[in-house]
Amino acid sequence: MKQIALVGSPNCGKTTLFNVLTKSNQRTGNWAGVTVEQKIGEFKLDGQAVELIDLPGVHMLTDCPLSIDAKITNDYLKSSEPDAILLVLDATQLRRQAELIPQIMATGQPVVIALNMMDALADHGLELNTTELKALLGDRLIEISAAKGTGIAALNKALGNALASQPLPQDDAGAVDCSCNPLPHEPLSHSGLLAAIDRATTFTGEPTLTERIDRWLLHPALAIPSFLLVMYLLFMISVQFGAIFIDFFDIWLGSWVVEGLRWVLSSLQAPAWLIAFVADGIGAGVQLIATFIPVIGALYLCMSWLEDSGYLARAAFVIDGVMSRIGLPGQAFIPLIVGFGCNVPSVMAARSLNSISARLTTIFIAPFMSCSARLSVYVFVGSAFFPEHAGLAIFSLYLLGIIVAVGSAWLLRKTLFGRFHEPSILEMPSYRRPVWRNVFTQAGHRLHSFMMRAGKRIMLVVIVLSCLGAVKTDGSWGAPGSPDSALAWIGKKLTPVLTPIGIGEDNWQATLGLFSGLFAKEVMVGTIQTLYTNEDESGDLTSTEMPDFMGDLGLAFGSVADNGKALFGIEPEAEPDAELNLIANSPIANLFPSAWAAFCFLAFVLLYAPCVATLGAMQREAGSGWLRFSLAWSLMLSYWIASNLWQLSHLFEQPLFASLWFVLSSAVLALFYSLIVKRVRDKHLGEIQVVNLT
């Protein structure tokens, strides 16, 4: 199949054109070795199928590209030989982007130039007379508006002609042409082109639409309030609205996949280990991944909309001053605020950052944001131990997370990334009405990529933990989560290690809760409650009856309605009270030595490790080395913080031991950190491409 490469500056409307040409005929992947999305689409030219490959945006072709994106495009144009190149230029930024014309023509391939955004010239206070440019560039110059869909037929015709022509050999690149186009009399020179563009352009002197909007949105008194409003809406719509549908997937797939598989397998007399593997491993893995769809999907939709509108760059502008103090660009704020909803999209959103050190730092600190699943644990434990001060306790935990994130970012900058000065000159694209096709395709691609890639790793961990939870220490297989499972055995062995943070020696349930918190933080509540309340029961929860498929589907749809009502405050949720009574009567209260110990436990829950979904996303975005570093750091730091908080309450009883603990644990923490950083610097930093550009 013939291949056409799509080239253009960032924000020139390249993606819109890509979507217009290929419709939904697209597939995505990654460029070899980097986490930059590769998009290939297919469309028909004169009845013949051709492939369109979307190259990342570049300002110009140089030998020293400044971002992964630019490097990919440079390398591609140097090494691959597409049958034709479609160069997209923003008519409102023509003078600045004109440099690409001679550079792309010099590749020797047939070139078609799409002059995009012809409809937006007036909004930019410009008039453009293309007669002379057409004379200079020939038939290959086509005026279009990708957003409005005008000029596409002419563009297709020009592309067809370009493909039918023969490329010139490379060494003749000076006299660029192809048989279908009239040859310009003199070879195309950059200065001649610029002069022609200057003659063609008339400034009407009106302030542009974008400048007029910026007068309000970047106004010193209004910038921060409007920023906060947009962030609040982003958070509310994506997290709160998306959360309405979580229970739907949870109930529906829990019944149709997990229970359904269990029923099918047990009616087939399958062995217990197979049931544990298939139903509680694979089935529960599918269920867990699916519960992330609503929040992540809603978030990606909102983000794509904001990105397409041009506001995202303004948000980065407003918060840049604060972020620069911890060595991050302003854009890093968005992944972090998203982290309060869910850490997974937070890690995924870090890929929008161009500089690799900013990307790694953001991925490193994103898990310290208290996600909404952790909130459910805070509420559960908090209202059992300090019902009067639950609000204050939860607020302090959020604050602790932010302080740890800021501190870790600062530490990384001091020890690892300090020597890389990364200039932060960010282009602020013009405001545009978002094109819905772009928004949905973009969000769809990102969601798909999350499900396929992070999903695999989530599945693997769920299978391992489920099997450990189902196999008993005597080798037989039982119900998941029983007190004599291998997982419970590990929990009991590990509990003594956790006594310094205030977990009682017999409180193995809390340790096991930490394990199940690895699946998903909200699972902790269920696990802890089941373990404490059903301690004496035989734990034979495995039902082998056929689940009520239709009834559960009805329940699933009902949950959407209920959650929707709760969101708009029509019907306050009444359930938490019932849960609280359960805890008050359960032995949980005896197992933590004091309320302060429960707080230390919560601090540990906040920091020790993110859930498997986040770990999967981190590995995918930053690689295993960085994941190990980040995980080791959060484990050590959480232990250090929780144990010292616990020792703090003994400062007056055992001043010597408490202060000795503080000094020694801090020394160990510092030692381990410096060892790990040294290792990361020696072994892994060299593998990171963009850092080497400096």
Partner 1 sequence: MTLDQLNLRQSARVVAVNSDSNVLRSHCAQLGIAPGAPIEVLHRAVGRGPMQAKIQGALYAIRQEDAAAIEVTV
Query: Does the annotation place 12 within a ligand binding site?
Result: yes
Query: Does the annotation place 361 within a ligand binding site?
Result: no
Query: Does the annotation place 148 within a ligand binding site?
Result: no
Q: Identify residues 491-510 at the interface with partner 1 (CB under 8 A).
A: none
Q: Which is nearer to partner 1, 416 or 600 (CB)?
A: 416
Classify 7 as helix, strand or coil. Answer: strand
Q: Using an 8 Å Cβ cutoff, are 366 and 343 in contact? A: yes
Least distance in angstroms from the C-beta of 95 to partner 1: 6
Q: Which is nearer to partner 1, 210 or 408 (CB)?
A: 210
Query: Does the annotation place 138 within a ligand binding site?
Result: no
Least distance in angstroms from the C-beta of 85 to partner 1: 19
Interface residue with partner 1 among 131, 171, 191, 421 (CB under 8 A) is: 421
Q: Binding string to partner 1 for residues 84 to 113, with x set by CB under 8 A, is what?
A: --------xx-xx-----------------
Distance set, CA 91 to CA 114, 118, 141, 398, 682 (Å): 9, 6, 12, 47, 47
d(CA 218, CA 198): 30
* Burial environment of residue 383 by CB neighbours within 10 A (0 to 12, 13 to 18, 19 or more): buried
d(CA 106, CA 93): 22
- H-helix segments, 520-611: 521-533, 549-567, 575-585, 588-591, 595-607
Q: Which is nearer to partner 1, 203 or 568 (CB)?
A: 203
The 3-state secondary structure of 324-361 reads: HCCCCCHHHHHHHHHHCCCHHHHHHHHHHCCCHHHHHH
d(CA 639, CA 608): 7
Query: Is residue 428 involved in binding partner 1 (CB under 8 A)?
Result: yes
Q: Using an 8 Å Cβ cutoff, are 6 and 52 in contact? A: yes
Q: Binding string to partner 1 for residues 590 to 629, with x set by CB under 8 A, is what?
A: ----------------------------------------
Dihedral angle sign, alpha carbons of residues 380, 386, 387, 393: negative
d(CA 47, CA 156): 11
Least distance in angstroms from the C-beta of 44 to partner 1: 36
Query: Does the annotation place 565 within a ligand binding site?
Result: no
Q: Identify residues 158-187 at the interface with partner 1 (CB under 8 A).
A: none
Interface residue with partner 1 among 128, 209, 270, 426 (CB under 8 A) is: 426
- Picking from 553, 541, 247, the residue whose alpha carbon sits closest to that of residue 376 is 247
Beta strand 126-128 pairing with 84-90: unpaired
Query: Does the annotation place 105 within a ligand binding site?
Result: no
The H or E element that residue 111 is part of is: strand 111-116
- DSSP states of 68-100 as a string? HHHHHHHHHHHH---SEEEEEEEGGGHHHHTTH
Query: Does the annotation place 283 within a ligand binding site?
Result: no
Interface residue with partner 1 among 177, 247, 308, 422 (CB under 8 A) is: 422
Classify 141 as helix, strand or coil. Answer: strand
Classify 185 as helix, strand or coil. Answer: coil
Q: Using an 8 Å Cβ cutoff, are 276 and 480 in contact? A: yes
Query: Is residue 218 involved in binding partner 1 (CB under 8 A)?
Result: yes
Query: Is residue 66 involved in binding partner 1 (CB under 8 A)?
Result: yes
Least distance in angstroms from the C-beta of 190 to partner 1: 12
Q: Identify residues 110-129 at the interface with partner 1 (CB under 8 A).
A: 124, 126
Identify any residues that bridge with 6 across adjacent strands, giving them in sequence order. Answer: 54, 86
Query: Is residue 196 involved in binding partner 1 (CB under 8 A)?
Result: no
**Which residue's entry shows tokens 């003659």?**
199
Interface residue with partner 1 among 175, 195, 322, 399 (CB under 8 A) is: 322
Interface residue with partner 1 among 34, 51, 59, 504 (CB under 8 A) is: 59
Q: Identify residues 327-386 at the interface with partner 1 (CB under 8 A).
A: 330
- The number of residues that bind partner 1 (CB under 8 A) is 41
Q: Which is nearer to partner 1, 23 or 219 (CB)?
A: 219
Least distance in angstroms from the C-beta of 320 to partner 1: 5
**Which residue's entry shows tokens 């029509």?**
570
Least distance in angstroms from the C-beta of 558 to partner 1: 48
**What radius of gyration, in Å, describes the C-alpha atoms of the chain?**
29
Query: Is residue 194 involved in binding partner 1 (CB under 8 A)?
Result: no
CA angle 502, 508, 514 (to 5 degrees): 80
Q: Which is nearer to partner 1, 101 or 298 (CB)?
A: 101
d(CA 234, CA 295): 12
Query: Is residue 220 involved in binding partner 1 (CB under 8 A)?
Result: yes
What are phi and psi for residue 610, nearest 5 degrees? Answer: -75, 175
d(CA 354, CA 406): 20
Q: Which is nearer to partner 1, 427 or 687 (CB)?
A: 427
**Residue range at the interface with partner 1 (CB under 8 A); choices 215-223, 358-366, 454-462, 534-542:** 215-223
**Residue range at the interface with partner 1 (CB under 8 A); choices 358-366, 426-434, 586-594, 668-676:** 426-434
Query: Is residue 213 involved in binding partner 1 (CB under 8 A)?
Result: no
Q: Using an 8 Å Cβ cutoff, are 205 and 125 in contact? A: yes
Interface residue with partner 1 among 7, 45, 188, 316 (CB under 8 A) is: 316
**Residue range at the interface with partner 1 (CB under 8 A); choices 208-216, 390-398, 638-646, 651-659:** 208-216
Q: Binding string to partner 1 for residues 627 to 656, with x set by CB under 8 A, is what?
A: ------------------------------
**Residue range at the interface with partner 1 (CB under 8 A); choices 54-62, 529-537, 565-573, 657-665:** 54-62
- DSSP states of 10-54 as a string? TTSSHHHHHHHHHTT-EEEEE-TTS--EEEEEEEEETTEEEEEEE
- Binding residues for partner 1, rule: CB under 8 A, are 59-60, 62, 64, 66, 92-93, 95-96, 124, 126, 210-211, 214, 218-220, 223-224, 313, 316-318, 320-322, 324-325, 330, 421-430, 693-694
- Binding site for GTP: what residues are annotated? 8-15, 33-37, 54-57, 116-119, 145-147
- Binding site for Mg(2+): what residues are annotated? 19, 22
- Binding site: what residues are annotated? 8-15, 19, 22, 33-37, 54-57, 116-119, 145-147
